[in-house]
Structure 1
Amino acid sequence: MRFTSRREVADLLAVEAFEAKASRKRDLDAWCVVFAEGQAELSGGTVDPRALAERLSVEAEGRVQRWLARRAGTICGAAELRPQQHDPAAGFLRLFVTPSARRRGIGSRLLARVAADAGVERIQATVLAGPPGEPFVDGWRVVLRLELHEQRLDQDTLWRCHELAMAAHSDRRLVFWEGAAPAHWVASFGRVMGHVLDAPGAELQMASRAWDTAAVRAWEAGMDGGHLLVGAVVHSPSGDVVGATVTTVQGGEARVAEQHDTAVLPEHRGGGLARWMKARQALRLHELFPTVESVTVTVNRQNASMLAVNQAVGFRLLRERLLVEASTHRLRACF
Structure 2
Amino acid sequence: MEAFEAKASGKRDLDAWCHVFGEGQAELSGGVVDPGVLAEQLRVEAGGRARRWLARRAGSICGVAELRTQQHDPAAGFLRLFVTPSARRRGVGSRLLARVAADAGVERIQATVLAGPPGEPFVGGWRVVLRLELHEQRLDQDTLRRCHELAMAAHPDHRLVFWQGAAPADRVAPFGRVMGHVLDAPGAELQMASRAWDTAAVRAWEAGMGGRHLLVGAVVPSPSDEVVGATVTTVASWEARVAEQHDTAVLPGHRGGGLARWMKARQTLRLHELFPRVESVTVTVNQQNAPMLAVNRAVGYRLVRERLLVETSTHRLRT
Task: Please give the range of the TM-score, normalised by the shorter of the 2 chains.
Answer: over 0.9
CA shift, 1:174, in A, is 0.6
Preserved contact between residue 79 and residue 110 of structure 2 (Cα < 8 Å):
yes
- The answer to whether the 8 Å contact 2:78/2:110 transfers is yes
Shift of 1:224: 3.9
RMSD: 0.7
2:317 aligned residue? 331
Residue aligning to 1:190: 176
1:321 aligned onto 2:307: yes
Output the amino acid matched with 1:171: D
Deviation of residue 284 (structure 1)?
0.5
Q: Tell me which residue corresponds to 1:219.
A: 205
1:225, distance to aligned residue in structure 2 (A): 2.7
Correspondence for 2:82: 96
Shift of 1:238: 2.3
Distance 1:68 1:228 in 2: 31
Counterpart CA distance in 1 for 2:304 and 2:210 is 23
Q: Does 2:247 align with 1:261?
A: yes
The correspondence for 2:59, drawn from 73, 90, 107, is: 73
- In the TM superposition, residue 197 of structure 1 has moved relative to its aligned partner by 0.3
**Aligned pairs for 1:1-335 within 5 A:** 15-333=1-319
Q: Aligned letter for 1:50? A: G
Paired amino acid for 1:16: E
Give the 3-state SS of the residue equivalent to 2:32 in structure 1.
coil
TM-score by length of 1: 0.94
Q: Which amino acid aligns with 1:19?
A: E
Q: Distance in 1 between matches of 2:210 and 2:218?
A: 21
Cα deviation for residue 234 of structure 1 reads 1.0
CA distance in 1, matches of 2:162, 2:120: 39
Q: Deviations over 1:125-182 (max 9, x none)?
A: 0000000000000000000000000000000000000000011112211111111111
Shift of 1:257: 0.4
> Structure 2: how far apart are the matches of 1:274 and 1:196?
13
Q: What is the TM-score when the length of structure 2 is the normalising length? A: 0.99
Paired residue secondary structure (1:286): helix
Query: How far off is 1:262 after superposition?
Result: 0.1
Q: CA contact under 8 A between 2:76 and 2:109: conserved in structure 1?
A: yes
Q: What is the rounded CA distance, in whole Å, between the counterparts of 1:320 and 1:224 in structure 2?
A: 27
Q: Which secondary structure state, in structure 2, belongs to the residue aligned with residue 241 of structure 1? A: coil
Deviation at 1:236?
1.8
Native 8 Å contact 2:175 2:230 kept in 1: yes
The alignment partner of 2:294 has SS state of helix
Identity percentage of aligned residues: 87
Q: Structure 1: any 5+ residue segments left out of the alignment?
A: 1-14
Query: Shift of the alpha carbon at 1:220?
Result: 1.1
Unaligned runs of 5+ in 2: none
Q: How many residues align?
A: 319
Q: Distance in 2 between matches of 1:220 and 1:87?
A: 23
Shift >3 Å, 4+ stretches: none
Summarize deviations over 1:178-232 as a string: whole Å, max 9, x none: 1111100100000000000000000000111111000111111122431011011
Larger radius of gyration, structure 1 or 2? 1
* Counterpart-to-counterpart distance in 1, 2:209 and 2:73: 21
Rounded Cα–Cα distance in structure 1 between residues aligned with 2:44 and 2:125: 37
Contact conserved, 2:41 with 2:210, CA < 8 A, in 1?
A: no
Distance in 1 (alpha carbons) for counterparts of 2:11 and 2:44: 13
Which amino acid letter does the alignment assign opposite residue 183 of structure 1? A
